[in-house]
Structure 1
Amino acid sequence: MAMTLKVYAVDRDGNRHVVRPEIEVAPLAHVEPVSAWAACKCPRCASASPIPPAQPQP
């Protein structure tokens, strides 16, 4: 089953502007279940001090 991906921005008036045109992408065959989002790698977050991962409670 094919999926499509299109990236667009919305301005304050609700108008959409295409950032990247629609492309066809293949879904992953297997997705590992996780309980947290991956760490952000943007320049602003990358320069901040890292937060240690949470430790499991006994």
Structure 2
Amino acid sequence: MQKDDFIRLKLKFAQADVAGKISIYTETPGLSAAQYKELLRMYPLDRLNELETALAKL
């Protein structure tokens, strides 16, 4: 994903609730490994099990 697009996506991710964050993380095409890591740093660690469950369903 291009840098400008990713900056917009990060803002949307930051403002989203946990369900929205999971949706963005699992459904956004074209992210690089570095971009996934950057989003993961913004994800609430106490809710990581919910993200893991969603990823396991893919």
| Larger radius of gyration between Structure 1 and Structure 2 | 1
Normalised to the residue count of structure 2, the TM-score between the two structures is 0.22
Normalised to the residue count of structure 1, the TM-score between the two structures is 0.22
Instruction: Report which of the two has the higher share of strand.
Output: 1
Instruction: Report which of the two has the higher share of helix.
Output: 2
